[in-house]
Amino acid sequence: MLLRIEDTDEARNRPELVDLIYDLLSWLGIDWDEEPVFQSQRRERHREAVESLLACGAAYLCDADNQPVAGTTLRPGLAARFRMPAGRTVTFQDVVRGDVSFASDDLEDFVVWRSAGAATFLLANAVDDVDMGVTHAIRGEDLLSGVPKVILLLEALGVQAPVYAHLPLLVNASRKKLSKRRDDVSLGDYRARGYLPEAMANCWAGDRRTTSRSVPCPRSWRSSASRT
């Protein structure tokens, strides 16, 4: 099992929240096999990927007004956008949804490098998935629309995208998407209210039977955690 701390948003990074992630995973009986990977410590690797995109023409520099800027070298104050190819249909097979297609003409030139000097969440995740050997990305369906961008980005970098499985979102009693501002979504809150770790693990596993927490997780499955 691999653990990745997705901390590309420096404004919201707080060490105590990372400690809470460790604490709650341990409470569930979930351990990881290697040192946690912090995306904030991989900035040079992300920069290298963006520079590769700029060099091959798959990305371009832009200023604060989103106007293209000549050159292929990242500089302070400039962002980099992926150059969306025209007339492409991006099709992939989702484990849950089957064949999914997007037209590139419906997608914008998206930012891969911020003017503040850091990669965006999408670029960092795509590169780190490849470097960490992730073969299957299992996540919520709200991230489905970002897949064609990742596929085209990785194609430009000359690497293959992982297999995707997009799961239905969790909803509350009113059938609305769970919200941090409105609903009980913190694992720590459930622990404080007396819920057992076995109960929480069974709930997430979709199994009402008693489930052992010692079942190994395939290395190819991504286990990433965000500080937000």
Mean pLDDT of the chain: 87
Q: At residue 24, what are phi and psi to the nearest 5 degrees?
A: -70, -35
**pLDDT band for position 209 (cuts 50, 70, 90):** very low
| pLDDT > 70: percent of the chain | 89
**pLDDT band for position 173 (cuts 50, 70, 90):** confident
46-94 per-position pLDDT tens digit: 999 999 999 999 999 999 999 999 999 999 999 999 999 999 999 999 9
What does the pLDDT read at residue 227? 35
Find the mean pLDDT for residues 112-139: 94
Structural domains of the chain in order of their starting residue, each with its CATH number: 4-226 (3.40.50.620)
Among 155, 37, 42, which Cα is nearest to 92's? 155
Residue type, 69: V
For residue 135 the two structure tokens come to 């073969």
What does the pLDDT read at residue 206? 59
8 Å CB contact between 161 and 154:
yes
Catalytic center residues? 180
The secondary structure of 10-52 as a DSSP string is GGG--HHHHHHHHHHHHHHT---SSPPEEGGGGHHHHHHHHHH
What does the pLDDT read at residue 49? 98
What residues does 81 pair with on adjacent strands?
60, 111
Round to whole Å and give the CA distance between 49 and 61: 14
Q: Is pLDDT at 143 greater than 90 in this prediction?
A: yes
Task: Map 93-157 to HEC letters.
Answer: EECCCEEEEEEHHHCCCCEEECCCCCECHHHHHHHHHHHCCCCEEEEEHHHHHHHHHHHHHHHHH
| pLDDT > 90: percent of the chain | 68
- Indicate the range of 11-15, 148-152, 193-197, 215-219 predicted with least confidence: 215-219
- Indicate the range of 93-97, 121-125, 190-194 predicted with least confidence: 190-194
Q: At residue 29, what are phi and psi to the nearest 5 degrees?
A: 85, 20
Find the mean pLDDT for residues 17-41: 92
